[in-house]
Amino acid sequence: MASPALTQSLSQSQTLAPQMRQSLEILQANTLELSQLLRQQIEINPTLEDFTESESIEDLEHEQPDEDNFDEHHDTYDDDLRDLAILEGRTLGSNPDSEERREFLYNSLVAPQSLASHLAQQIEESALDEELRLACMALIGSLDDRGFFTDSIEEIGSRLEIPSNLINDALALLHTLDPPGIAARNLQDSLLLQLERLGLADSLEHRIVAKHLDGLARKQYPQVARALKVTVESIALAAEHIATLDPSPGAIFDGTRNPIISADVRITWEDDRWIALSTNENLPRLRIADSYKDMLSSTPDKKVRSYLRDQIRDGRVLIRALDQRQDTIIAITAEIIRHQPDFLEKGSRHLRPLTMNDVAETIGVHPTTVSRAVAGKYIETPHGIIEMRKFFATGYHTSSGTDVSNAGVRQTIQDIIAGENPQKPMSDSAIEKALKEKGLKVARRTVAKYREQLNILPSHLRKSYKQES
């Protein structure tokens, strides 16, 4: 057996310093994430303070730095703020009014109501005997996010040892609760419950959902009409009514369904030109507290001085990284403004191709920096809040010599379909020909891909059987 031995070897590895990791984290964070991160740092580092509440907007405004002197601006930023505060004789800390406003804000923030709590509240308000109430609560706990049962009612009753008659009574009660269609076994069951709640138990809509839901989904209106011995137009009218029902009645209580989006930068028209402005309303404004700077110079305790020196240094690094993030985002947005004037004036159809490499080369950073800076960020534009990444895409060169981005092609496809005859919808091949007539050479498979990205159905499912009046 080989005896153990000691050996030496050399290897190279690359690690990121804590300050660099923090800088990257700040760069990649969106506004909401950054707000949480900064408030965390305020709690950790006692020398940092948020002076949002104690100063007016006018006091806080400072000129955007030129691209050639970013570093100089970062080095002097917090010292300039301190000097300005001393010259104006402002006091540190917060006043009672601001504290009261902040307390009111915190007390106003509540978690969105869940489906289970919404249903449980209705059960608690009903005059039920204890056994039925417990059975209802047990069934509520077995619903998924859509409001449907993932297991069969029999399995649930057996697992919870609830008699079948009590399960049936509880289920019937849940079917009367809001929202309509809740506590269903599946989509078909939910749609039938919603129609019955509307008093349409004997309607054509009810018959279609009960017997021909698959044919309805495939838009096989002639076949469904023959089976039910009615006209195709009546099937089309019934389908329009069925489409107004909710396929997932419990999803409205899903807190992740409509996430909050906050713009990180705003494009606005001022002084006859488009400009980029940071949206810092949701971010704490940081500075090093004067009291700790004064303590650093006056305390005789070496350990205290060392601790304060480290904390102040870390605070300055954080503020510098925050400024660098804001400056980078503003610089990228300025390039988007320069490159996309037609979009700002006319809309998404006029987006031009733009790559991150192009922007990185212009503002003097690495392409990965641009990629990190735009990740999860949004721009408030004249045409709504748009994800920054959507401005970076390849495109097509038209026969007229202009460039059109992928987003512009998608918008053109959407416009073509919006103008088609609903009784004779255009196939992907027909859309390909229509694009070619507009000077855009796009393959049929690409047309199909873009149509799917737009959540537009294929032609045979877009066909309308409703007669024009």
Among 232, 253, 274, residue at a domain's last position? 253
pLDDT at 346: 83
In which band, very low, low, confident or very high, does the pLDDT at 337 lie, cut at 50, 70 and 90?
very high
Total structural domains in the chain?
A: 2
Helix (H, G, I), strand (E, B) or coil at 117: helix
Among 253, 273, 291, residue at a domain's last position? 253
The rounded mean pLDDT for the chain is: 78
**369 within some domain:** no
- Mean per-residue pLDDT, 87-106: 42
**24 within some domain:** no
What per-residue string of b and e applies to 269-301 under the rule 16 or more CB within 10 Å gives b? eeeeebebebebeebbbbbbbeebeebbeeeee
Instruction: Select the highest-mean-pLDDT range: 88-102, 246-260, 421-435.
Output: 421-435
Distance of alpha carbon 179 from alpha carbon 17, whole angstroms:
53
**425 within some domain:** yes
Lookup result for tokens 């000077």:
439
- Among 95-104, 245-254, 279-288, 447-456, where is mean pLDDT lowest? 95-104
Confirm if 27 and 372 have CB atoms less than 8 A apart: yes
- Among 112-126, 156-170, 256-270, where is mean pLDDT lowest? 256-270
**431 within some domain:** yes
The answer to whether the peptide bond before residue 179 is cis (omega within 30 degrees of 0) is yes
Amino acid at 403: D
Pairing of strands 265-270, 378-381: parallel
Is the pLDDT score of 413 beyond 50? Answer: yes
* Residue 421 belongs to domain with CATH number: 1.10.10.60
Q: Which two tokens stand for residue 200?
A: 């349409």
Is the pLDDT score of 377 beyond 50? Answer: yes
Nearest Cα residue to 456 out of 402, 418, 399, 401: 418
- Among 10-14, 41-45, 47-51, 213-217, where is mean pLDDT lowest? 10-14
Distance of alpha carbon 429 from alpha carbon 445, whole angstroms:
9
Confirm if 140 and 123 have CB atoms less than 8 A apart: yes
In which band, very low, low, confident or very high, does the pLDDT at 162 lie, cut at 50, 70 and 90?
confident
Confirm if 147 and 250 have CB atoms less than 8 A apart: yes
Among 253, 272, 306, residue at a domain's last position? 253
In order of 148, 244, 253, the CA distances from 248 in angstroms are 8, 12, 10
Q: Residue 449 is inside which H or E element, if any?
A: helix 444-453
Q: What is the CA radius of gyration of the chain?
A: 31
**332 within some domain:** no
Distance of alpha carbon 35 from alpha carbon 278, whole angstroms:
14
**199 within some domain:** yes
The phi, psi pair for 11, rounded to 5°, reads -145, 155
Helix (H, G, I), strand (E, B) or coil at 247: coil
**267 within some domain:** no
Helix (H, G, I), strand (E, B) or coil at 193: helix
> What percentage of the chain exceeds 70 in pLDDT?
78
CB atoms within 10 A of CB 149: 19
Nearest Cα residue to 259 out of 28, 32, 20: 32
- Mean per-residue pLDDT, 63-91: 41
Please name the residues in contact with 425: beta carbons below 8 A apart, sequence gap of 6 or more.
Answer: 417, 459, 460, 462, 463
Helix (H, G, I), strand (E, B) or coil at 354: strand
Domain that holds residue 434: 394-469
CB atoms within 10 A of CB 370: 25
Nearest Cα residue to 415 out of 437, 431, 397, 429: 431
- Among 44-48, 94-98, 210-214, where is mean pLDDT lowest? 94-98
In which band, very low, low, confident or very high, does the pLDDT at 402 lie, cut at 50, 70 and 90?
low
**280 within some domain:** no
Amino acid at 146: R
In which band, very low, low, confident or very high, does the pLDDT at 189 lie, cut at 50, 70 and 90?
very high
In which band, very low, low, confident or very high, does the pLDDT at 53 lie, cut at 50, 70 and 90?
low
- Among 64-68, 149-153, 327-331, 435-439, where is mean pLDDT lowest? 64-68
pTM, 2 dp: 0.53
pLDDT at 258: 56
- Among 7-21, 32-46, 256-270, where is mean pLDDT lowest? 7-21
Nearest Cα residue to 313 out of 49, 45, 51: 45
Four-CA torsion 29, 30, 36, 41, nearest 10 degrees:
40
In which band, very low, low, confident or very high, does the pLDDT at 77 lie, cut at 50, 70 and 90?
very low
pLDDT at 464: 77
For 445-455, write each residue's pLDDT tens digit. 888 888 888 88
